[in-house]
Structure 1
């Protein structure tokens, strides 16, 4: 099954909504994600703040990839799961983002935050790599 067919199947099931990409929206999402990713590297901040910043940067970039593909979703986990199709990243990276999504939910809704510096470092590294892929996609779509 190709990328478009997979995304269209998710649209038919109600997980995604078709919506043309908006350049200003995508640029704004990437600008915000870049700022958050940079701030997530700040050792002066608490672990919880750095994790929240890195996670939200990853989500913003993943959402940008989905928007560039002509879709939108209000389900955070689905935005990450679509990365295989929207950004061409591997399933191992998607599993990392899914784990971070679970950890974020535990912190957000149950008040539990496991301070795992290694996981945070992996999240920052994977988000940085994802950012480069999505920036390249944007440059290809909006050049000229």
Structure 2
């Protein structure tokens, strides 16, 4: 992990430094776990699965960023920082980034085109993100 890259994003205005907060971290971790669990409920529509899995990935990715003492207003940047906050390899965070683009098409243009294979990949990557976030341990304040 290279936190120097995150410090550079602070300099350019992409991130803000803010002390981590255990209660906030715990809330994001809970939300991520719950959404991931709900995304796997049998019989759920693909749209529902995608929305919940994407929400879980965002909550968990933001938790990792906050654990390190950074905050971002930009969803895509939160995902791109996964390589620095959790050491997630590029191919995996790019799956979540692709899902972010698909989510935007749905939200802003009403166009949902998410193959079931992409949903499966999103679920797998989100499970890995959860595992890595849980391994961070308590916030050091």
| TM-score, length-scaled by structure 1 | 0.93
Q: Which runs of 4+ in 1 moved over 2 A?
A: none
Give distance in 2, aligned partners of 1:70 and 1:3. Answer: 14
Bigger relative contact order, structure 1 or 2 (CA pairs below 8 A, ≥6 apart): 2
Cα offset, 1:43, TM superposition: 2.7
Is this contact kept in 2: 1:37–1:124, CA < 8 A?
A: yes
Matches within 5 A, 1:23-34: 23-34=22-33
d(CA) in 1 for partners of 2:98, 2:56: 15
How many residue pairs match? The answer is 140
Matches within 5 A, 1:1-144: 3-139=2-138, 141=139
Structure 2 unaligned residues grouped into runs of 5+: none
State how far apart, in whole Å, the 1-side matches of 2:39 and 2:137 are: 23
- For structure 1, list consecutive stretches of 5 or more residues without a partner in the other structure: none
d(CA) in 1 for partners of 2:12 and 2:37? 36
Equivalent position SS for 1:89: coil
Q: In the TM superposition, what whole-angstrom CA distance separates every residue of 1:79-107 from its partner, at most 9, and x where no partner exists?
A: 00000000000000111011000011011
Is contact 2:102-2:114 (8 Å) kept?
no
Q: Is the 8 A contact 1:68 1:138 kept in 2?
A: no
Deviations for 1:16-63, whole angstroms, at most 9, x for unmatched residues? 000011000000001011110011012322111110000010000000
Q: How big is the shift at 1:129? A: 0.7
